[in-house]
Amino acid sequence: MSSGGAEDDIPQGERKTVTDFCYLLDKSKQLFNGLRDLPQYGQKQWQSYFGRTFDVYTKLWKFQQQHRQVLDNRYGLKRWQIGEIASKIGQLYYHYYLRTSETSYLNEAFSFYSAIRQRSYYSQVNKEDRPELVVKKLRYYARFIVVCLLLNKMDVVKDLVKELSDEIEDYTHRFNTEDQVEWNLVLQEVAAFIEADPVMVLNDDNTIVITSNRLAETGAPLLEQGMIVGQLSLADALIIGNCNNQVKFSELTVDMFRMLQALEREPMNLASQMNKPGIQEPADKPTRRENPHKYLLYKPTFSQLYTFLAASFKELPANSVLLIYLSATGVFPTGRSDGEGPYDFGGVLTNSNRDIINGDAIHKRNQSHKEMHCLHPGDLYPFTRKPLFIVVDSSNSVAYKNFTNLFGQPLVCLLSPTAYPKALQDQSQRGSLFTLFLNNPLMAFLFVSGLSSMRRGLWEKCQEYLRKINRDIAQLLTHSRSIDQAFLQFFGDEFLRLLLTRFVFCSATMRMHKAFRETRNYPESYPQLPRDETVENPHLQKHILELASILDVRNIFFENSMDDY
């Protein structure tokens, strides 16, 4: 606004419009900045604050639409300022998704981010000699890429990466800034992240299969009549990542990314259209059952991890399950211990200390000084007072075989192999094979079979056959006479049922695969599954051989897993 006498020439109504806009803009910034001060854990403290923030941004967005001409003429509203408001709303939806795990809000974030790009709100930023504005544009691109990755919109991701690369090149050419290396690292990280996923090319039209690994309406094997299972439901999940040298983007490793999607349903579009963003109130709950709430913890310290664990444990509803997923470097004891307690077998390292990293394992010279950020099985004992489901993907996952169920609550640990055949070890940076099986078992099966292309009809046939295998595994588990009841108590939940059937498929496949005889190292569980009724069941082995025959790779599998012993 101009100052002095010129201000008197502005009609009172227009002056009030500008004043109201400035108030809403300042209030929105104040509330948005306050979001970072909210506790990251706990479910109740933040909801009312988010509600107030959404309310102000709703008013601000509608206000600038209704009074655009006055704001252009009297306030000098720039297009990049509109873009900044839209970007903040996109961030709000993304953070609301992180808080609630409701995937529909990813679509809302995508809607606003897409509108910014389609309407070229940031197009004039490069003409202004203000590097801080260009950085806002670069950050918008980075956030948009994360949302598109989570929605599996890989074509959009590739376009955005190309645009971001051009923007970074222009930015570093025009301004002599210190953050040039950081932005180039962002580009390298996202390129490596995209490259990490195994790709299946359909020969018919040379297209790449983009699979969604979230739970579809018919994703988990249905419970058939006569299946006796528990009524527990998965309410909370801690997804923890600290694998040495694993590809990551935006504090999300490949393994974390895969497990995150394995614990979500397909997103619904709440109301907005991509070309016409309008704020959908978060209070409008989707009608179907919610996703389990998740905490994403990248390299947490022991105290951070325990804080989040305690918060989840405290707020866990009745008849609910807490899931802990650990994708982390193994910590091994260096010598024989006199005892065999829950702290004598090592564990997994959740926060790296560079001075003591050696390959994929951490060894301590002095066993009397245990690694501070190692999560031992014993550290989780207090939380077994409620139903607990643990997945450990680590070179020392077997430490969790030595678990003890002290409180009689349902407790299951699914444990990865601790070593892989040489031919597969060099893939560890691209994510663990074990987690890939839990996320996308068909793609994992194709990967261990050395296949990266096929006909579309064959792809669809394999998908259908794998659904049949999953249904039969569900029957094997529920009809077993000697299975530990903990497995069946978790089997009523769709997400946990899918993890359990995929775990059995993974274990059976590895036991029959000839390359795995090098290590004789297979997935294990606590409590142990009855092998002859599950992972070595002849009926399941026949299915795996049939799938291998469909793909013409039967020669890489044993006809009977016992041939491997």
For position 1, what pLDDT does the model report? 44
Alpha helices in 101-218 (DSSP H): 104-118, 131-150, 154-174, 180-196
Can you give the pLDDT at residue 266? 85
* Amino acid 366: pLDDT: 44
Stretches in the chain below the pLDDT threshold 50: 1-6, 271-277, 283-288, 355-368, 563-565
Cα–Cα dist 227/229, whole Å: 6
Which long-range contacts link 130-134 to residues 24+ away (Cβ below 8 Å)?
131/171, 131/174, 131/175, 131/177, 133/80, 134/167, 134/171, 134/174, 134/175
Between CA 104 and CA 263 the distance in angstroms is 14
Residue of 537, 553, 535 lying closest to 445 (CA atoms): 553
Q: How far apart are CA 280 and CA 535, in angstroms?
A: 47
Residue 475: the pLDDT is 92
Omega cis (within 30) before 527: yes
The 10s digit of each residue's pLDDT in 212-255 is 788 876 567 777 766 777 889 999 999 999 988 889 998 899 99
- What distance lies between CA 12 and its chain's CA centroid? 52
CB within 8 Å of 405: residues ≥ 6 apart: 384, 411, 486
- Backbone φ/ψ region at 251: left (φ over 0), alpha (ψ -120 to 50), beta: left
- The whole-number pLDDT of residue 270 equals 52
In Å, what is the CA distance from 99 to each residue of 141, 215, 313, 404, 498? Answer: 22, 19, 16, 32, 24
**Taking the model in full, what pTM does it have?**
0.90
State the pLDDT at residue 359: 43
The per-residue pLDDT for 549 is 97
